[in-house]
Every structure is written in structure tokens, then in C-alpha cells.
Amino acid sequence: MLLRHTPTEITDRKALMINPAKTCQPIGAMYASLGIHGCMPHSHGSQGCCAYHRSTLTRHYKEPVVAATSSFTEGSSVFGGQSNMLQAIDNIFTVYEPDIISVHTTCLSETIGDDLTQIVKKAYDDGKVPEGKHVIYAPTPSYVGSHVTGFSNMCKGIVSGFAEKTGEQKNQMNIIPGFVEPSDMAEVKRLATEMGVKTVLFPDTSGVLNGPQTGRYHMFPKGGTTVEELKSTGDSMGTLALGSFASSLAAKFLDTKFKVPCRVLPLPIGLVATDRYIDTLRKFAGVTVPDSLTFERGQLVDVMTDMQQYLYGKKVALFGDPDQLIALTEFLVTLDMVPVHIVTGTPGKEFESTIADLTRDSPVPVNIKSHGDMFQLHQWIKNEPVDLLMGNTYGKYIARDEDIPFVRHGFPILDRVGHSYFPTVGYRGGLRLLEQILSALLDRKDRDSSEESFELVM
């Protein structure tokens, strides 16, 4: 047993986090910054954070992830990191020539209280920022929230750094896709385009973190939301924020500052949530839904109808990021499955009440925890076994020990590919998820059935 020391008996823990279902803010900010075209993320802290964040994103995407760091030493940790950051800005623009540097912080620079606003202003005043280039920033203290919070903070940093209001409304919708895969971002955009809605999607990592092999390395790939697009977000008709934990902060900022009205929706994972996304967009933008999307929807419902017998009543344990879990829980309920243990590492009471609401008709008691960990999830599973486990790669240890079919979903996925190329949002994403769930369950059925009951057709 890999997790041989995890006891079935659950004791109360107040201080010790074991096997977290979250990581820290800056990696989310780094990911969001990579969704801007021509942008170099910059980590204002000691260099270990930057190395770890780059490594984790690289392992997840199997793609280059470039970011710079202020490389604090003990001296700068005592006297402040201003000179490190000014040097860094100068070096980055001179050597790597990005259009934008997007700065986030770590627990180090936040604890010592470096003032990003003041340092960035000084960089401009001292002429360290070349003409036509930009430095934007967001504070991302690692001791608050999680990587999702960091993504959210940087999304706000992006709009507060770029958005303008010219007074001339543009016939376009802002869409903040949430902390999702590049493939999901592309799919969210495709659905809107299919409906004839012009969008500014930000951040947008498609084409950045799922790019092609061309034999030539480009530090700043073609993808990413452009500065022009980002500036125009203040003139848009409205903002759709997908996933309240990741996206609502930036959307509300645009609403408050530029009176761009916003709607916050769950991530469009699964049938009902995608319906909601499409329908909201339809009403918001005043368009009709094309037959092509109704057709896609029908395909998803078709497979749900066809395979219902394998899904009904199956118990599922889930862990991951709150926006994904809320949407997944709703999808599983739609499939007549029964989510029984649901853990996010990200703090937020809203998570627990939302999930409780979605599972209120559950035939069995449901364990829900925000700011929880995978150790507790594992203990819950030992006490109340499940038919399926869904979550990031770290779930494979529980899946192996408890012999549970396992579907990888969320961040990070370090041991498989596919997530960055095939979406799980939208109707097509719903089909992919359904396929993954069914394959996991049916593979298990094939493995476990006796020779005489081994089926050719299912």
C-alpha cells in the first residue's frame, strides 16, 4: 500500500495539512499571465517559487513555460526587493524583449510588504520600460486562498492594467473562461463564435500551452489575448465570468470601474451548465442559437440516454478546484450518479453551500469540505467506498490502494496527455468526460467479471 499509514478512523486536525488539494497563489497568476500575447510572467520573490511553478506547469502541459524572477537574496529579504525588481525589468526587456511583463508576488515579498504599485511606477519613471511596452501586476500572497485565488487576482491585474473606456461601446462580449485548460478556453470561444457573438476571451492560453512542434522555438507564441483586445474590455457590452472563484473578481472590477455589466456562471462543464452558458450568451448578446449547437447538445443527451444503465446510482469521490467541482457535481447528478465525497483545498464557505444545494436530493449523506485535503478524502473513502474517483494526478495513489476506477480531471495532470488538447467544457467536452467515465467503469467491469459473464457487447 502506497498510503499505508492512512487510518480509517478519522481524527480532528486543526494544524496539519496532509496531501493538499490545492497549491499556492503565484502559479495561478503565472498561468493567467501566459494567456496574454507577448507576455513574460515575473515572480517577485526568491527564485525557488518561480522554478517550482514553471516546473509544475511544464509537467502538466509538456510545453515550454517561461517566467522570470526577482531572485531575492537574504539582503533583499531584509531591505526590500525594489532594486531586484528594477534590475529584472531592465534585463527582461533588454534580453527577452516581451511586450509585457506581468508581475506577481510570493509569500516572501508580501510578508516584507514590497509595494508593487510604487516599484512599477519607479520602473516607468526611471525609463526602464521601453516605449510601447507594459508592466502590469497583481499581489498574490501564498498564505491566502490557493492557486485559483492567484489566477483570479491576476485576471483582475490584467484588466486593471489594460482596460480602458473610450465611451464608444463595442459590439463584443468579454468572457473570462476561468482556471481551465487551453482546450477549454478554445472551446468556450468556439461556442460563442458559433453563435455569432464577437468575444474578447481573457486570459487565453490556447495556442500558448498546447502549441505545435515546428522545429523552431518561439518564446512568445502566436496565442494569447492581445493588448488591443484587453484595452477594449472596458468598452464591451458585458462580461461573462465562468467559475466564480476564478473569474468573478475581474468581471466585477470591469463592472464597478467601467460599468460593463457582468454575469457570473458556473463553468460550462456538462449538459445543464453548458445550456446555461449558451442561453445566457443568447440573451445577453441578443442572438439565436444555431442548429449546429442544438445538434451537438442532442449528441450528448443521446449518449447519456444510451449508457444510462452504467451510470445510475454510481458513487463518486471528487477533489480539485472549486469551480470545476461545482460544475462536475452538477453534471454527475444530471447523469444519475451520486457524488458522495467532495473536497477542495481552496477555502470558501460558498463552495460547501453550493455543493450541498446541488446534492440535496442525494440518496446518501454527502461529505463536503472546502479547505480540506486528500488525506481526509481518502479516510472518507475508506469509510464509505465509491465506484469512481475523479481528480488530479495525485489521486492515483488512492485509486491504486483502494482499487477504484479513476478519471483524471483538473490541475495538475502530470502523467497523461489529452487534457490540453481536448476540452471538457461544452457539449463536446461533456461527451469526452462521459467517454472517460464510461471507459473507466466499463474497463473495471471487464476486468472484474467472471469468464462466463464476460461480455462482448455493452
Partner 1 sequence: MEAPVTDTNRTESTHDVDLDKVRSEILSKYPTKVARKRAKQILVKPGGAGTDIPEIGANVRTVPGILTQRGCCYAGCKGVILGPTRDVINIVHGPIGCGFYAWLTRRNQTRPASDDSPNYMPYCFSTDMQDENIVFGGEKKLKQAIQEAYDIFHPQTISVFSTCPVGLIGDDIHSVCREMKETLGINIFGFSCEGYKGVSQSAGHHIANNGIFQHVVGLDDTIRGGEFRINLLGEYNIGGDAFEIERILDECGISLISTFSGNSTMEQFANSHTADLNVVMCHRSITYMAEMMEKKYGMPWIKINFIGARATAQSLRKIAQYFEDDSLTARVEEVIAREMPAVNEAMEANRPLCEGKLAMLFVGGSRAHHYQELFSELGMKTMAAGYEFAHRDDYEGRQVLSSIKVDADSRNIEELSVEQDPDKYRLRKTEEELTSTGQIYREYDGLIADMKPNTFVIDDISQYETEKLIEAIKPDVFCAGIKEKYIIQKSGVPMKQLHSYDYGGPYAGFKGAINFYREIARMTNSKVWSYVKAPWEKEPELTATYAAA
| Chain residues 365-394 in contact with partner 1, contact rule CB under 8 A | 375, 394
Residue 407 near partner 1 by CB under 8 A: no
- Using CB under 8 A, which residues numbered 108 to 127 contact partner 1? 108, 111-112
Minimum Å distance from CB 55 to partner 1? Answer: 5
Q: Which of residues 33-52 bind partner 1 (CB under 8 A)?
A: 42, 45-49, 51-52
Greatest CA span in the chain, whole angstroms?
79
Q: Which of 33, 76, 152, 172 binds partner 1 (CB under 8 A)?
A: 76
Could you give the string, one character per residue 210-229, with x where binding to partner 1 holds by CB under 8 A and - elsewhere?
-x-xxxxxxx----------
Task: Tell me which residues in 263-282 interact with partner 1 (CB under 8 A).
Answer: none
* Least separation in angstroms between CB 180 and partner 1: 20
Q: In what order do the strands lie in the sheet with 134-138?
A: 68-69, 39-44, 100-105, 134-138
Per CB under 8 A, the list member of 31, 33, 70, 372 interacting with partner 1 is: 70
Number of shown-chain residues binding partner 1 (CB under 8 A): 84
207 near partner 1, judged by CB under 8 A: no
Q: How many residues does the chain have?
A: 458
Which three cell numbers, joined as nine digits, stand for 52? 517550482
Minimum distance from residue 449 beta carbon to partner 1 (Å): 29
CA dihedral (46, 48, 49, 51) in degrees, to 10, reads: 130
Please list, in sequence order, all residues whose beta carbon lies within 8 angstroms of the beta carbon of residue 443, skipping any fewer than 6 positions away. 405
Q: Which of 90, 194, 255, 384 binds partner 1 (CB under 8 A)?
A: 90
Smallest separation, CB 328 to partner 1 (Å): 21
314 binding partner 1? (CB under 8 A): no
| DSSP summary character for residue 375 | H
Give me the residues paired with residue 139 across strands: none
- Per the DSSP assignment, residues forming a β-bridge with 320 are 344
- The CA radius of gyration of the chain, in Å to the nearest whole number, is 23
Sheet holding 338-344, edge to edge: 367-369, 338-344, 315-320, 388-391, 406-408
Amino acid at 380: W
- Which of residues 84, 102, 152, 199 is near partner 1 by CB under 8 A? 84
**Per CB under 8 A, which of residues 135..154 are in contact with partner 1?**
141-144, 146
Indicate which single residue of 30, 65, 135, 227 sits in contact with partner 1 (rule: CB under 8 A). 65
Distance, CA of 357 to CA of 326 (rounded, Å): 10
Helix (H) or strand (E) holding 331: helix 322-334
Site for partner 1 in 417-456 (CB under 8 A): none
Q: What is the DSSP letter of 307?
A: T
Supply the minimum distance, in Å, between the C-beta of residue 112 and partner 1.
Answer: 6
Q: Closest separation between CB of residue 267 and partner 1, Å? A: 23
Measure the CA–CA gap between 283 and 213, rounded to whole angstroms.
40
Contact window for partner 1 (CB under 8 A) among 91-99, 196-204, 281-289, 418-426: 91-99
| Of residues 199 and 370, the one with the C-beta less far from partner 1 | 370
Closer residue to partner 1 (CB): 33 or 76:
76
CA distance 205 to 3: 35
Q: Which residue has the cell 465562468?
A: 242
Instruction: Quote the Cα angle for 276-391-51, to 5°.
Output: 110
Span interacting with partner 1, options 3-11, 244-252, 335-343, 383-391, rule CB under 8 A: 3-11
Q: How far is the CB of 87 from partner 1 (least distance, A)?
A: 5
Shortest distance in whole angstroms from residue 116 CB to partner 1: 15
Angle at 357 between CA 392 and CA 266, to 5 degrees: 55
Looking only at the bridges linking them, the beta strands covering 68-69 and 100-105 are unpaired
Asked if residue 359 binds partner 1 (CB under 8 A), the reply is no
When asked if residue 344 is in the footprint of partner 1 (CB under 8 A), the reply is no
Q: Which residues ranging from 169 to 188 are in contact with partner 1 (CB under 8 A)?
A: none
Strand-pair category, 367-369 with 388-391: unpaired
Three-state DSSP at 458 gives coil
In the complex, the smallest distance separating the C-beta of residue 105 from partner 1, rounded to whole angstroms, is: 11
Q: How far is the CB of 394 from partner 1 (least distance, A)?
A: 8
Query: According to the binding rule CB under 8 A, does residue 349 interact with partner 1?
Result: no
Helix (H) / strand (E) element for 323: namely helix 322-334
Residue 80 binds to partner 1 (criterion: CB under 8 A): no
Nearer to partner 1, 141 or 157 (CB): 141
3-state secondary structure of 320: strand
211/430 with CB nearer partner 1: 211
